């Protein structure tokens, strides 16, 4: 009997929810659910944006058989030993879905497995990686020596906001809440999503700022409703603590709006002026976000998710606390989170970044190399943001234009199935039986 291991390499919360989830679903659809034949393991590497709950999220996916958390990664990379001393089958494929592209090279060689890399914007280690699934053709290198390794699979971010139809075609639809779906269901109204982030560094400023904006907008447009899609790594009590003046003194610097958590009959944050912001606890929240006419969001992977769903957004980077922003990618993010010196490093890094020539922070803007969605950076005032929101709501054609631009800059759908096909092909190169051992459903 043929049996294989598939090793998924990933890192941050965005990659786990938007890349890993649709890919493991597609792998099971194509390769079947017989765990004696196909075993799927997820190995996480450290990420500056990590919350510590990525392993729990990956473990919740029924398609995944075992998960190793990021804190054990370096031992696995350097010594080949997992924390639970996993055993490996003779044949398999390492699939890269986040981290550093050198990782699949090292781990693939150590396990003697084939390697498949998903890449959005750049590809590396062409000589040592077996296959690349890329988002767009423009990142395929000109060197014809490696051209056979590349395939355009499309955009996994688009895939993340969609669910596959029952007939396994490369057609996807978004499941909207029904009238019977009453849990956490927002009222049918002009809906604005508030995305303050999932880590304390962002929540301390983001929660009070967004509540202050919501109060101003609500006073002008009573029909407007607000909802916070709560990150799966965040509990309601922790979220609510950032709206409590005794636990978050930053509130005084940002609008001064506080709120209390009410959980019955459904969870909300209620400000003392009476504004109720619903808390949506089901994850992923793509069905909810797709119904929002506008979202107010911090920087990060959520801008990519909103972009993939073509949801207009205003991206906010408040700097009232210069040391608060510690979620930069790469070396700046590592330095800003160092013990003891992290606060000082964060202040220096943020001051430097904010005083450099204007750069783009939201992923849709980075993709387009222009400001498709507005970015507001600095000591932001709730009234200024609210005025921008009110202008958008009064001119829906502006929101429609942003949605159209967002749709135009992303790759095609169907990426998860196409990437799973690459993995299946690499498995077939290792089988000693009929090459059609695995069949697509």
**Residue pLDDT, tens place only, 204-247:** 999 999 999 999 999 999 999 999 999 877 899 999 999 999 99
pLDDT digit string, tens, across residues 366-378 = 878 899 999 998 8
3-state DSSP assignment of residue 270: strand
Per-residue pLDDT reduced to its tens digit, 110-141: 999 999 999 987 899 999 999 999 988 888 88
Q: Which residues of 348-368 are buried (b: 16+ CB within 10 A; e: fewer)?
A: bbbeebeeeeeebbbbbbbbb
Rg (CA), the chain: 22
Q: Tell me the pTM.
A: 0.68
Q: Which pair of structure tokens corresponds to residue 332?
A: 């700046």
Residue 222: its H or E element: none
What are the structural domains of the chain? 4-170+413-428 (3.40.50.2000), 190-409 (3.40.50.2000)
pLDDT digits (tens, 9 = 90+) for 51-94: 788 899 999 999 999 999 999 999 999 888 999 999 999 999 99
Residue 184 has pLDDT above 50, yes or no: no
Residues 19 and 160: beta-carbon distance below 8 Å: yes
DSSP 3-state assignment of 354?
helix
Alpha carbon distances (Å) from 321 to 131, 234, 283, 361: 44, 22, 30, 18
What is the token pair recorded at 35?
Answer: 């765990």
User: Which helix H or strand E contains 200, and what residues bound it?
Assistant: helix 200-220
349 pLDDT tier (thresholds 50, 70, 90): low
The torsion defined by the Cα of 349, 354, 356 and 361, in degrees rounded to 10, comes to: 100
pLDDT, tens digit, 9 for 90 and up, residues 258-312: 999 999 889 999 999 999 999 999 877 888 998 999 999 998 878 888 988 899 9
- Please give the Cα distance from 191 to 174 (Å, whole number): 18
The two tokens of residue 242 are: 């950032």
Q: Give Cβ neighbours of residue 270 (< 8 Å, ≥ 6 apart).
A: 259, 260, 262, 276, 277
Say what the pLDDT of residue 341 is. 53
Answer whether residue 1 shows pLDDT above 60.
no
User: Is the link from the previous residue into 274 a cis peptide, with omega within 30 of 0?
Assistant: no
Please tell me which of 148-152, 186-190, 351-355, 388-392 the model is most confident about, judged by mean pLDDT: 388-392
DSSP type of residue 321: S
Q: Compute φ and ψ for 187, nearest 5 degrees.
A: -70, 155
Q: Whole-angstrom distance between the N-terminal and C-terminal Cα of the chain?
A: 21
Under 8 Å between Cβ of 422 and 142: no
Tokens representing 2 are 């043929």
Using a pLDDT cut of 90, give the percent of the chain over it.
54
pLDDT digits (tens, 9 = 90+) for 379-435: 899 999 999 999 999 999 999 999 999 988 876 678 999 999 999 999 998 875 444
């Amino acid at each position: 009997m043929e049996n294989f291991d598939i090793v998924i390499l990933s890192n941050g919360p965005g990659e786990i929810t938007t890349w890993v989830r649709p890919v493991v679903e597609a792998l099971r659809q194509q390769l079947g659910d017989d765990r004696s034949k196909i075993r799927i393991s997820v190995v996480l590497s450290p990420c500056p944006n990590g919350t510590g709950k990525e392993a729990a999220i990956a473990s919740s996916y029924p398609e995944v058989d075992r998960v190793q958390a990021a804190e054990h990664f370096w031992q696995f990379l350097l010594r080949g030993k997992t924390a639970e001393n996993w055993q490996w089958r003779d044949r398999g494929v390492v699939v890269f879905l986040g981290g550093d592209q050198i990782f699949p090279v090292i781990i693939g060689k150590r396990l003697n497995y084939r390697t498949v890399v998903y890449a959005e914007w750049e590809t590396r280690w062409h000589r040592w990686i077996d296959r690349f699934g890329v988002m767009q053709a423009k990142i395929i290198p000109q060197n014809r020596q490696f051209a056979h390794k590349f395939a355009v699979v499309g955009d996994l971010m688009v895939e993340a906001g969609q669910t596959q139809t029952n007939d396994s075609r490369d057609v996807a639809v978004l499941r909207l809440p029904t009238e019977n779906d009453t849990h956490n269901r927002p009222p049918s109204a002009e809906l604005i999503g508030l995305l303050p982030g999932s880590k304390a560094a962002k929540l301390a400023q983001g929660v009070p700022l967004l509540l202050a904006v919501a109060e101003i907008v609500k006073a002008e447009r009573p029909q407007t409703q607000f909802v916070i899609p709560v990150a799966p790594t965040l509990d309601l009590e922790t979220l609510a603590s950032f709206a409590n003046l005794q636990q978050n003194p930053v509130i005084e610097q940002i609008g001064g709006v506080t709120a209390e958590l009410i959980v019955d009959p459904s969870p909300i944050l209620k400000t003392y002026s009476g504004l109720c912001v619903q808390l949506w606890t089901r994850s992923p929240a793509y069905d909810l976000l797709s119904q929002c006419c506008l979202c107010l969001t911090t920087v990060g992977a959520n801008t990519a998710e909103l972009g993939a769903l073509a949801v207009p957004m205003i991206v906010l980077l408040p700097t009232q606390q210069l040391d608060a922003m510690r979620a930069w990618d790469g070396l700046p993010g590592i330095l800003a989170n160092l013990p003891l010196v992290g606060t000082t490093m964060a202040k220096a890094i943020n001051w430097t970044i904010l005083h450099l020539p204007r750069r783009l922070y939201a992923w849709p803007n980075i993709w387009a190399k222009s400001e498709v969605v507005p970015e507001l950076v600095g000591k932001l005032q709730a009234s200024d943001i609210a005025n921008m929101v009110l202008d958008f709501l009064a001119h829906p054609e502006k929101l429609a234009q942003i949605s159209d631009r967002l749709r135009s800059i992303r790759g095609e759908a169907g990426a998860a199935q196409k990437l799973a096909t690459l993995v299946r092909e690499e498995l077939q190169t290792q089988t000693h039986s009929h090459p059609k051992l695995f069949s697509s459903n």
